[in-house]
Amino acid sequence: MTAKKENAKRLGIFLLIVSLFVLLYFVFIKPMNESNTVFFIIYYCLFSFSPAIASLITRAVTKEGFRDMKLHLNLSGNLKWYLLAFGLPLIFFSVRILLPVIISGHSSWLRGFTFQKVLATVFMLASLTAVQSIGLLGEELGWRGYMNQKMEPLFGTFVTCLIGGIVWSLWHLPMDMAGWLDGECTLSYSLMMCGGRLLLLTCFGTFLMWLTKKTDSVFPAVVAHFMFNQSQGAWGELLAQGNIPENADLGMISSVFEYATMILLVVVFIGLLLREKKKSPKTA
């Protein structure tokens, strides 16, 4: 079997296992709503680790072995990339959330953003990143540590970013659709959420892919993913301390910043990925 066919087979098995976990989530959506225990078992014990579990099963089934899992920290020489992994999501969400508020003249909404509170939040995020981000290894070991590695030789860098992002966001589908399936929101709202996530994760995925390739480790991606999840919440918490009217709408400017930041992120990191690919020696 050629290397490409072997890669395609491994990728197929990996995606099949991951989709089985997604199916499992859909099957148990009702019992999960009724019982905390079922939710804990299905979501926390199985689903949140499913990409890592799928990569390990695939490695075992295809007899690929467990080498090159990118589990070394590779701290020396890469500390700056770890710092970028910590700082970029924070900056990304600051620009996305805070800049439109300031530019549209609603600075009074940012009453919660005192120097002291922002500093405390950043320090808290830094310390939490060091000890709690490890849980996201359950995702990154699968997505960046396995799936992207198999996809890139098959589809090239650009398409890997695209398909990888789509797969990553489709994996979140049960969470997005849960509201509609429970009858808490409309289908159009759920689909809109899916679309938003698809766009955001595809864009952010390029940064995570670049980080993993640059450092040859999944840990910077783990840090960036953790910060991606936490910084939204942290800024949201500070925003909630300001007196924002319930029907607040910034209109066009909000959308501009929402999409401009994503486009900038994609352009920069796709560019860097392609540049590094050009630089790397070609193998037969």
Partner 1 sequence: MTGLVYKEWKQNRWFILSMIPCGFAPLLALLLLREQITSADNIALRIGGLIAGFLAAGALQLLVLRGDDHKLWGYWITATADGYKGFLRVKYEMIFGMIVLFLFSLQFVDMGYCAVAADMKSKDIGSISSIALLLGFTQILFRAIDIPFTYRFGSKKGSIIKLICMVTLAIILGAVLIFSTEHIDHIIDTAKDLFRENSSLILSVGLVLCLALYYLSYRITCRLYLKGVEQYDS
Q: Which residues bind partner 1 (CB under 8 A)?
A: 35-37, 39-40, 44-45, 72-73, 75, 116-117, 119-124, 126-128, 130-132, 134-135
| Closer residue to partner 1 (CB): 43 or 158 | 43
Q: Residue 32 or residue 101: which is nearer to partner 1 going by CB? A: 32
Q: Which tokens in the block code for residue 42?
A: 């299905």
CB of 39 to partner 1, least distance (A): 7
Which of 60/120 has CB closer to partner 1?
120
End-to-end CA separation in angstroms for the chain: 16
One-letter amino acid of 31: P
Report the residue count for the chain.
Answer: 284
**Beta carbon of residue 35, minimum distance to partner 1 (angstroms, whole number):** 5
Determine the Cα–Cα distance for residues 233 and 223; give it in Å rounded to an integer: 16
Question: Smallest distance from the beta carbon of 133 to partner 1, in angstroms?
Answer: 9
Residue whose CB is less far from partner 1, 121 or 202: 121
Nearest residue to 250 via CA among 92, 90, 106 = 106
- Whose Cβ is closer to partner 1: residue 126's or residue 187's? 126
Question: Shortest distance, CB of residue 255 to partner 1, whole angstroms?
Answer: 33
Burial 37-51 (b: 16+ CB within 10 A, else e): eebeebeeebbbbbb
Going by C-beta distance under 8 Å and a sequence separation of 6 or more, which residues neighbour residue 148? 160, 164, 209, 212
Residue listed under structure tokens 């942290």: 234
Closest approach of Cβ 245 to partner 1, in Å? 26
Q: Maximum distance among all alpha carbons in the chain?
A: 64
Least distance between partner 1 and beta carbon 40 (Å): 4
Q: Please give the radius of gyration of the chain, using alpha carbons only, rounded to the nearest integer.
A: 20
Contacts for 89 with CB less than 8 Å, ≥ 6 apart: 204, 224, 227, 228, 231
Nearer CB in complex with partner 1: 63/115: 115
Which residue's CB is nearer to partner 1, number 85 or number 193? 85
Q: Which of 49, 28, 47, 46 has its CA nearest to residue 181?
A: 28
